Amino acid sequence: MKIRKGDTVFIRTGKSKGQTGKVLFVDMKKDTVLVEGVNMMKRHQKPTQQSPKGGIISIEAPVHISNVALFSNTLNGPTRLSSKVVEEGGKKTKMRICRKTGEQI
């Protein structure tokens, strides 16, 4: 997967189309990501010791990885990624690169 925790992503499709947010969690098995403040859903919470009031709370629902794209601040929009292997001092490291601008992410 090219999207990682902490990346800023752009939502391509769905009811949250056009919004951006930070990735909180990536689920590799289900190919979904949890994005901060995007795809909000209501949940009815029973009163517990931690939250004695209970009530209706809003939480983020997962979004499929195919519906998000990495957001580039320089382009101010979504971009695609490519990878490049760089050898420095005998160590090989894999870098993520923006396809449009060629800068490292």
pLDDT tens digits along 44-89: 999 999 889 889 999 999 999 999 999 988 888 999 989 999 888 8
- 31 found inside a domain: yes
| Per-residue pLDDT at 88 | 83
Number of domains within the chain:
1
- Is residue 63 a part of any domain in this protein? yes
**104 in a structural domain:** no
**What is the distance between the alpha carbons of residues 57 and 86, in angstroms, rounded to a whole number?**
46
- Is the model's pLDDT at 102 over the cut of 90? no
Given a cut of 90, is residue 39 above it in pLDDT? Answer: yes
The mean pLDDT value for 1-13 works out to: 91
The pair of structure tokens assigned to 59 is: 């939480």
Question: What pLDDT is recorded for position 103?
Answer: 86
Look up the pTM and report it: 0.82
- CA 79 – CA 9 distance, rounded (Å): 9
